Structure 1
Amino acid sequence: MAQAKRSAAAGQDAAEPGVRTLKKYPNRRLYDTETSSYITLADVKEMVLAGENFVVRDAKTNEDLTRSILLQIILEEETGGVPMFSTRMLAHIIRFYGHTMQGLMGTYLEKNIQAFIDMQSRFAEQSKGVYDPKGLNAEMWTQFMNVQAPMMQGLMTNYLEQSKNMFVQMQEQMQKQAESLIPGFPGFPPQNR
Protein backbone atom coordinates (compact mmCIF):
# COMPACT_ATOMS: atom_id res chain seq x y z
CA MET A 1 0.00 0.00 0.00
CA ALA A 2 2.77 2.46 0.96
CA GLN A 3 4.66 1.48 -2.19
CA ALA A 4 1.58 2.23 -4.33
CA LYS A 5 1.35 5.70 -2.77
CA ARG A 6 5.05 6.31 -3.43
CA SER A 7 4.65 5.18 -7.04
CA ALA A 8 1.65 7.48 -7.53
CA ALA A 9 3.58 10.40 -6.04
CA ALA A 10 6.57 9.61 -8.23
CA GLY A 11 4.28 9.56 -11.26
CA GLN A 12 3.03 13.03 -10.36
CA ASP A 13 6.57 14.33 -10.04
CA ALA A 14 7.57 12.93 -13.42
CA ALA A 15 7.35 15.53 -16.15
CA GLU A 16 4.75 14.97 -18.82
CA PRO A 17 6.34 14.61 -22.25
CA GLY A 18 6.38 17.95 -24.06
CA VAL A 19 5.12 19.85 -21.01
CA ARG A 20 7.50 22.17 -19.20
CA THR A 21 7.26 21.99 -15.40
CA LEU A 22 7.51 25.05 -13.20
CA LYS A 23 7.66 24.75 -9.43
CA LYS A 24 6.24 27.37 -7.10
CA TYR A 25 7.94 27.65 -3.74
CA PRO A 26 6.47 29.04 -0.50
CA ASN A 27 8.56 32.20 -0.93
CA ARG A 28 6.38 32.84 -4.05
CA ARG A 29 9.29 32.22 -6.42
CA LEU A 30 8.86 30.20 -9.58
CA TYR A 31 11.51 27.68 -10.60
CA ASP A 32 11.82 26.40 -14.17
CA THR A 33 12.93 22.77 -14.03
CA GLU A 34 13.92 22.84 -17.71
CA THR A 35 16.42 25.68 -17.37
CA SER A 36 17.22 25.07 -13.67
CA SER A 37 16.64 28.73 -12.86
CA TYR A 38 14.18 31.01 -11.13
CA ILE A 39 11.79 32.91 -13.38
CA THR A 40 9.23 35.71 -13.05
CA LEU A 41 5.59 36.08 -14.05
CA ALA A 42 6.85 38.07 -17.04
CA ASP A 43 8.81 34.98 -18.14
CA VAL A 44 5.70 32.83 -17.76
CA LYS A 45 3.75 35.36 -19.84
CA GLU A 46 6.41 35.06 -22.57
CA MET A 47 5.96 31.26 -22.46
CA VAL A 48 2.21 31.72 -22.96
CA LEU A 49 2.78 34.12 -25.87
CA ALA A 50 5.21 31.63 -27.43
CA GLY A 51 2.57 28.89 -27.18
CA GLU A 52 4.64 26.70 -24.86
CA ASN A 53 2.92 23.94 -22.90
CA PHE A 54 3.68 24.13 -19.21
CA VAL A 55 2.31 23.25 -15.82
CA VAL A 56 2.93 25.07 -12.55
CA ARG A 57 3.11 22.80 -9.49
CA ASP A 58 3.39 23.59 -5.80
CA ALA A 59 6.90 22.51 -4.77
CA LYS A 60 5.67 20.87 -1.55
CA THR A 61 2.25 19.41 -2.38
CA ASN A 62 2.60 18.98 -6.15
CA GLU A 63 -0.81 20.66 -6.53
CA ASP A 64 -1.48 22.10 -9.99
CA LEU A 65 -1.30 25.90 -9.71
CA THR A 66 -1.33 26.70 -13.44
CA ARG A 67 -4.74 28.42 -13.44
CA SER A 68 -3.75 30.53 -10.43
CA ILE A 69 -0.58 31.74 -12.16
CA LEU A 70 -2.44 32.51 -15.39
CA LEU A 71 -5.03 34.48 -13.41
CA GLN A 72 -2.19 36.46 -11.78
CA ILE A 73 -0.88 37.34 -15.24
CA ILE A 74 -4.35 38.47 -16.35
CA LEU A 75 -4.69 40.58 -13.19
CA GLU A 76 -1.35 42.28 -13.89
CA GLU A 77 -2.37 42.95 -17.49
CA GLU A 78 -5.76 44.32 -16.44
CA THR A 79 -4.29 46.69 -13.85
CA GLY A 80 -1.16 47.69 -15.74
CA GLY A 81 -2.27 48.95 -19.09
CA VAL A 82 -5.33 49.11 -21.25
CA PRO A 83 -7.79 46.63 -19.71
CA MET A 84 -9.56 44.12 -21.91
CA PHE A 85 -12.51 43.63 -19.55
CA SER A 86 -14.82 46.46 -18.54
CA THR A 87 -16.04 46.71 -14.96
CA ARG A 88 -19.51 45.80 -16.18
CA MET A 89 -18.25 42.68 -17.95
CA LEU A 90 -16.29 41.55 -14.89
CA ALA A 91 -19.42 42.02 -12.74
CA HIS A 92 -21.40 39.87 -15.19
CA ILE A 93 -18.78 37.14 -15.09
CA ILE A 94 -18.75 37.17 -11.27
CA ARG A 95 -22.54 36.78 -11.23
CA PHE A 96 -22.23 33.49 -13.12
CA TYR A 97 -20.16 31.86 -10.35
CA GLY A 98 -22.42 29.52 -8.40
CA HIS A 99 -25.20 30.02 -10.94
CA THR A 100 -26.66 26.99 -12.68
CA MET A 101 -25.37 28.39 -15.98
CA GLN A 102 -21.74 28.64 -14.76
CA GLY A 103 -20.48 25.62 -16.71
CA LEU A 104 -22.41 26.64 -19.78
CA MET A 105 -20.99 30.16 -19.68
CA GLY A 106 -17.43 28.85 -19.44
CA THR A 107 -17.96 26.67 -22.51
CA TYR A 108 -19.66 29.51 -24.35
CA LEU A 109 -16.81 31.94 -23.67
CA GLU A 110 -14.18 29.35 -24.61
CA LYS A 111 -15.88 28.61 -27.95
CA ASN A 112 -16.29 32.32 -28.67
CA ILE A 113 -12.63 33.01 -28.00
CA GLN A 114 -11.65 30.10 -30.27
CA ALA A 115 -13.92 31.43 -33.04
CA PHE A 116 -12.31 34.86 -32.66
CA ILE A 117 -8.81 33.32 -32.81
CA ASP A 118 -9.80 31.44 -35.98
CA MET A 119 -11.09 34.67 -37.53
CA GLN A 120 -7.87 36.47 -36.57
CA SER A 121 -5.81 33.68 -38.16
CA ARG A 122 -7.77 33.96 -41.42
CA PHE A 123 -7.16 37.71 -41.46
CA ALA A 124 -3.43 37.25 -40.79
CA GLU A 125 -3.22 34.69 -43.60
CA GLN A 126 -4.92 37.09 -46.03
CA SER A 127 -2.64 39.98 -45.07
CA LYS A 128 0.61 38.08 -45.70
CA GLY A 129 2.89 39.92 -48.09
CA VAL A 130 1.27 43.28 -47.39
CA TYR A 131 2.36 43.69 -43.79
CA ASP A 132 6.01 43.08 -43.06
CA PRO A 133 6.91 43.86 -39.44
CA LYS A 134 10.49 44.64 -40.47
CA GLY A 135 9.60 46.98 -43.32
CA LEU A 136 5.98 48.10 -43.29
CA ASN A 137 4.91 49.46 -46.62
CA ALA A 138 2.47 52.11 -45.31
CA GLU A 139 0.81 52.81 -48.66
CA MET A 140 0.20 49.14 -49.41
CA TRP A 141 -1.08 48.58 -45.86
CA THR A 142 -3.53 51.50 -46.18
CA GLN A 143 -4.80 50.18 -49.50
CA PHE A 144 -5.10 46.68 -48.07
CA MET A 145 -7.07 47.93 -45.04
CA ASN A 146 -9.41 49.96 -47.28
CA VAL A 147 -10.19 46.82 -49.27
CA GLN A 148 -10.38 44.66 -46.14
CA ALA A 149 -12.78 46.88 -44.14
CA PRO A 150 -15.92 45.40 -45.74
CA MET A 151 -14.44 41.91 -45.42
CA MET A 152 -13.69 42.52 -41.72
CA GLN A 153 -17.27 43.65 -41.21
CA GLY A 154 -18.38 40.43 -42.87
CA LEU A 155 -16.08 38.36 -40.66
CA MET A 156 -17.35 40.10 -37.53
CA THR A 157 -20.95 39.58 -38.65
CA ASN A 158 -20.23 35.88 -39.25
CA TYR A 159 -18.48 35.66 -35.87
CA LEU A 160 -21.43 37.24 -34.07
CA GLU A 161 -23.86 34.98 -35.93
CA GLN A 162 -21.81 31.89 -34.97
CA SER A 163 -21.76 33.11 -31.38
CA LYS A 164 -25.53 33.53 -31.38
CA ASN A 165 -26.01 30.09 -32.95
CA MET A 166 -23.73 28.46 -30.34
CA PHE A 167 -25.75 30.04 -27.56
CA VAL A 168 -29.07 28.91 -29.11
CA GLN A 169 -27.70 25.36 -29.50
CA MET A 170 -26.56 25.26 -25.87
CA GLN A 171 -29.93 26.64 -24.80
CA GLU A 172 -31.74 23.91 -26.77
CA GLN A 173 -29.48 21.21 -25.28
CA MET A 174 -30.23 22.46 -21.79
CA GLN A 175 -33.96 22.43 -22.50
CA LYS A 176 -33.79 18.85 -23.80
CA GLN A 177 -31.82 17.76 -20.75
CA ALA A 178 -34.26 19.47 -18.42
CA GLU A 179 -37.23 17.88 -20.20
CA SER A 180 -35.65 14.43 -19.95
CA LEU A 181 -34.95 14.90 -16.24
CA ILE A 182 -38.22 16.59 -15.35
CA PRO A 183 -41.15 15.62 -17.64
CA GLY A 184 -43.33 18.61 -18.39
CA PHE A 185 -40.52 21.05 -17.57
CA PRO A 186 -41.79 24.53 -18.48
CA GLY A 187 -38.49 25.35 -20.20
CA PHE A 188 -37.89 27.98 -22.77
CA PRO A 189 -40.60 28.98 -25.24
CA PRO A 190 -40.72 26.53 -28.15
CA GLN A 191 -38.77 27.65 -31.19
CA ASN A 192 -40.25 27.59 -34.71
CA ARG A 193 -38.59 24.66 -36.40
Structure 2
Amino acid sequence: MNSAKKTSERLIKKYPNRRLYDTQTSSYITLADVKQLVLANEEFTVIDAKSDEDLTRSILLQIILEEEANGSPMFSSGALSQIIRYYGHAMQGLMGSYLEKNIHAFIEIQNKLTENSKGMYEGKPFSPEMWTQFMSVQGPMMQGMMGNYIEQSKTLFMQMQEQMQSQTKNMFGTFPFGTVPGAGDTNKKE
Protein backbone atom coordinates (compact mmCIF):
# COMPACT_ATOMS: atom_id res chain seq x y z
CA MET A 1 0.00 0.00 0.00
CA ASN A 2 1.50 3.38 -0.91
CA SER A 3 1.91 6.14 1.67
CA ALA A 4 -0.43 8.57 -0.14
CA LYS A 5 -3.25 6.05 0.09
CA LYS A 6 -2.42 5.29 3.73
CA THR A 7 -2.71 8.92 4.80
CA SER A 8 -6.08 9.41 3.11
CA GLU A 9 -7.55 6.23 4.58
CA ARG A 10 -8.79 5.92 8.10
CA LEU A 11 -6.61 3.54 10.11
CA ILE A 12 -8.19 1.14 12.56
CA LYS A 13 -6.03 -1.06 14.75
CA LYS A 14 -7.21 -4.39 16.09
CA TYR A 15 -5.71 -5.38 19.41
CA PRO A 16 -5.28 -8.92 20.80
CA ASN A 17 -8.26 -8.37 23.11
CA ARG A 18 -10.34 -8.11 19.89
CA ARG A 19 -10.97 -4.41 20.39
CA LEU A 20 -10.86 -2.04 17.45
CA TYR A 21 -9.17 1.33 17.87
CA ASP A 22 -9.91 4.17 15.45
CA THR A 23 -6.74 6.26 15.17
CA GLN A 24 -8.63 9.17 13.60
CA THR A 25 -11.01 9.63 16.55
CA SER A 26 -8.62 8.18 19.16
CA SER A 27 -11.35 5.91 20.48
CA TYR A 28 -12.39 2.30 20.57
CA ILE A 29 -15.12 1.33 18.11
CA THR A 30 -17.33 -1.68 17.45
CA LEU A 31 -18.11 -3.70 14.33
CA ALA A 32 -21.34 -1.67 14.11
CA ASP A 33 -19.21 1.49 13.89
CA VAL A 34 -17.09 -0.08 11.13
CA LYS A 35 -20.32 -0.97 9.31
CA GLN A 36 -21.32 2.70 9.51
CA LEU A 37 -17.98 3.66 7.92
CA VAL A 38 -18.77 1.27 5.06
CA LEU A 39 -22.27 2.71 4.67
CA ALA A 40 -20.81 6.23 4.66
CA ASN A 41 -18.38 5.18 1.87
CA GLU A 42 -15.38 6.05 4.06
CA GLU A 43 -12.09 4.45 3.10
CA PHE A 44 -10.41 2.60 5.95
CA THR A 45 -7.88 -0.10 6.67
CA VAL A 46 -7.90 -2.43 9.65
CA ILE A 47 -4.51 -3.70 10.76
CA ASP A 48 -3.34 -5.99 13.52
CA ALA A 49 -1.78 -3.76 16.18
CA LYS A 50 1.12 -6.18 16.79
CA SER A 51 1.98 -7.54 13.34
CA ASP A 52 0.64 -4.77 11.05
CA GLU A 53 -1.15 -7.51 9.07
CA ASP A 54 -4.04 -6.14 6.99
CA LEU A 55 -7.27 -7.45 8.52
CA THR A 56 -9.71 -5.36 6.50
CA ARG A 57 -11.18 -8.29 4.55
CA SER A 58 -11.55 -10.32 7.74
CA ILE A 59 -13.45 -7.50 9.47
CA LEU A 60 -15.69 -6.99 6.42
CA LEU A 61 -16.43 -10.73 6.36
CA GLN A 62 -17.35 -10.56 10.06
CA ILE A 63 -19.81 -7.77 9.28
CA ILE A 64 -21.32 -9.82 6.45
CA LEU A 65 -21.58 -12.84 8.76
CA GLU A 66 -23.45 -10.76 11.35
CA GLU A 67 -25.75 -9.32 8.69
CA GLU A 68 -26.45 -12.79 7.30
CA ALA A 69 -27.22 -14.13 10.80
CA ASN A 70 -29.58 -11.26 11.66
CA GLY A 71 -32.63 -10.26 9.72
CA SER A 72 -33.07 -11.27 6.11
CA PRO A 73 -30.02 -13.01 4.62
CA MET A 74 -28.80 -11.97 1.19
CA PHE A 75 -27.30 -15.35 0.28
CA SER A 76 -29.12 -18.68 0.24
CA SER A 77 -27.41 -21.79 1.59
CA GLY A 78 -27.18 -23.06 -1.98
CA ALA A 79 -25.43 -19.90 -3.19
CA LEU A 80 -22.96 -20.02 -0.29
CA SER A 81 -22.30 -23.71 -0.99
CA GLN A 82 -21.56 -22.93 -4.64
CA ILE A 83 -19.17 -20.13 -3.67
CA ILE A 84 -17.35 -22.47 -1.26
CA ARG A 85 -17.00 -25.09 -4.00
CA TYR A 86 -15.00 -22.63 -6.10
CA TYR A 87 -12.26 -22.26 -3.48
CA GLY A 88 -9.25 -24.21 -4.71
CA HIS A 89 -10.96 -24.78 -8.08
CA ALA A 90 -9.17 -23.76 -11.26
CA MET A 91 -11.95 -21.22 -11.88
CA GLN A 92 -11.60 -19.53 -8.44
CA GLY A 93 -9.97 -16.39 -9.83
CA LEU A 94 -12.52 -16.09 -12.61
CA MET A 95 -15.41 -16.61 -10.19
CA GLY A 96 -14.16 -13.83 -7.90
CA SER A 97 -13.75 -11.49 -10.85
CA TYR A 98 -17.16 -12.51 -12.20
CA LEU A 99 -18.91 -11.82 -8.89
CA GLU A 100 -17.14 -8.49 -8.47
CA LYS A 101 -18.10 -7.35 -11.97
CA ASN A 102 -21.71 -8.35 -11.33
CA ILE A 103 -21.80 -6.39 -8.09
CA HIS A 104 -20.40 -3.34 -9.90
CA ALA A 105 -23.02 -3.75 -12.64
CA PHE A 106 -25.76 -3.97 -10.01
CA ILE A 107 -24.44 -0.80 -8.33
CA GLU A 108 -24.47 0.97 -11.71
CA ILE A 109 -28.12 -0.05 -12.22
CA GLN A 110 -28.97 1.27 -8.76
CA ASN A 111 -27.11 4.54 -9.43
CA LYS A 112 -28.94 5.00 -12.74
CA LEU A 113 -32.28 4.37 -11.05
CA THR A 114 -31.37 6.89 -8.37
CA GLU A 115 -30.31 9.45 -10.96
CA ASN A 116 -33.45 8.91 -13.04
CA SER A 117 -35.71 9.20 -10.01
CA LYS A 118 -34.24 12.40 -8.54
CA GLY A 119 -37.03 14.48 -10.03
CA MET A 120 -39.59 12.35 -8.22
CA TYR A 121 -38.26 13.37 -4.81
CA GLU A 122 -37.17 16.98 -5.39
CA GLY A 123 -33.55 16.11 -6.22
CA LYS A 124 -32.90 14.37 -2.89
CA PRO A 125 -30.95 11.11 -2.97
CA PHE A 126 -32.89 8.00 -2.04
CA SER A 127 -32.83 7.02 1.61
CA PRO A 128 -33.30 3.35 2.51
CA GLU A 129 -36.95 4.11 3.31
CA MET A 130 -37.44 5.76 -0.09
CA TRP A 131 -35.84 2.72 -1.77
CA THR A 132 -38.27 0.47 0.08
CA GLN A 133 -41.20 2.55 -1.12
CA PHE A 134 -39.84 2.80 -4.66
CA MET A 135 -39.16 -0.96 -4.85
CA SER A 136 -42.64 -1.83 -3.56
CA VAL A 137 -44.07 0.05 -6.53
CA GLN A 138 -41.37 -0.97 -9.02
CA GLY A 139 -40.68 -4.44 -7.58
CA PRO A 140 -42.19 -6.58 -10.34
CA MET A 141 -40.45 -4.55 -13.05
CA MET A 142 -37.13 -4.71 -11.17
CA GLN A 143 -37.48 -8.45 -10.60
CA GLY A 144 -38.02 -8.97 -14.31
CA MET A 145 -35.08 -6.74 -15.18
CA MET A 146 -32.81 -8.48 -12.66
CA GLY A 147 -34.05 -11.89 -13.80
CA ASN A 148 -33.05 -11.03 -17.37
CA TYR A 149 -29.71 -9.66 -16.13
CA ILE A 150 -29.01 -12.82 -14.13
CA GLU A 151 -29.97 -15.05 -17.08
CA GLN A 152 -27.66 -13.09 -19.40
CA SER A 153 -24.93 -13.25 -16.80
CA LYS A 154 -25.39 -17.02 -16.45
CA THR A 155 -25.23 -17.45 -20.22
CA LEU A 156 -22.08 -15.34 -20.39
CA PHE A 157 -20.45 -17.37 -17.62
CA MET A 158 -21.35 -20.66 -19.32
CA GLN A 159 -19.92 -19.40 -22.62
CA MET A 160 -16.73 -18.36 -20.82
CA GLN A 161 -16.45 -21.79 -19.21
CA GLU A 162 -17.04 -23.58 -22.54
CA GLN A 163 -14.42 -21.36 -24.20
CA MET A 164 -11.88 -22.23 -21.51
CA GLN A 165 -12.62 -25.95 -21.90
CA SER A 166 -12.19 -25.65 -25.65
CA GLN A 167 -8.91 -23.79 -25.27
CA THR A 168 -7.68 -26.42 -22.82
CA LYS A 169 -8.58 -29.24 -25.22
CA ASN A 170 -6.81 -27.43 -28.07
CA MET A 171 -3.76 -26.75 -25.94
CA PHE A 172 -3.40 -30.29 -24.59
CA GLY A 173 -4.83 -32.10 -27.62
CA THR A 174 -1.47 -32.07 -29.35
CA PHE A 175 0.24 -34.03 -26.57
CA PRO A 176 0.37 -37.80 -27.06
CA PHE A 177 -1.57 -38.77 -23.92
CA GLY A 178 -2.25 -42.31 -25.00
CA THR A 179 -2.66 -45.27 -22.72
CA VAL A 180 0.39 -47.12 -21.50
CA PRO A 181 0.41 -50.66 -22.94
CA GLY A 182 -0.81 -53.10 -20.32
CA ALA A 183 -1.66 -50.36 -17.76
CA GLY A 184 -5.39 -50.73 -18.13
CA ASP A 185 -5.36 -54.53 -18.50
CA THR A 186 -5.61 -55.78 -14.90
CA ASN A 187 -7.05 -59.21 -15.77
CA LYS A 188 -3.98 -60.27 -17.70
CA LYS A 189 -2.08 -63.22 -16.14
CA GLU A 190 1.69 -63.23 -16.13
Give TM class, smaller chain: 0.7 to 0.9
TM-score (norm 1): 0.72
Q: Which residue of 1 aligns with 2:179?
A: none
* Counterpart residue type for residue 104 of structure 2: Q
In structure 1, the gaps of 5 or more residues are 1-10, 186-193
Q: Which residue of 2 aligns with 1:36?
A: 26
Alignment of 1:121-140 (within 5 A): 121-131=111-121
Distance 1:108 1:175 in 2: 17
Shift, 1:171, TM fit: 2.7
What SS does the aligned partner of 1:129 have? helix
Note if contact 1:96-1:105 (Cα within 8 Å) is conserved in structure 2. Answer: yes
Return structure 1 stretches of 4+ with deviation > 4 angstroms: 11-15
1:24-59 CA deviation, whole Å, 9 max, x = no partner?
Answer: 000000001111111100010001111111110000
Shift, 1:108, TM fit: 0.9
Q: Which residue of 2 aligns with 1:76?
A: 66
Q: Which residue of 1 aligns with 2:187?
A: none
Distance 2:3 2:143 in 1: 49
1:85-111 CA deviation, whole Å, 9 max, x = no partner?
Answer: 111111111111112221111111111
* Counterpart residue type for residue 168 of structure 2: A
Q: How has the CA–CA distance of structure 1 residues 63 and 181 changed in structure 2, closer, same or farther, with 3 Å as cutoff? A: farther
User: How many residues end up aligned between the 2 structures?
Assistant: 168
Tell me the C-alpha RMSD between the 2 structures: 3.2
Percent of pairs with identical residues:
61
Highest CA radius of gyration, 1 or 2? 2
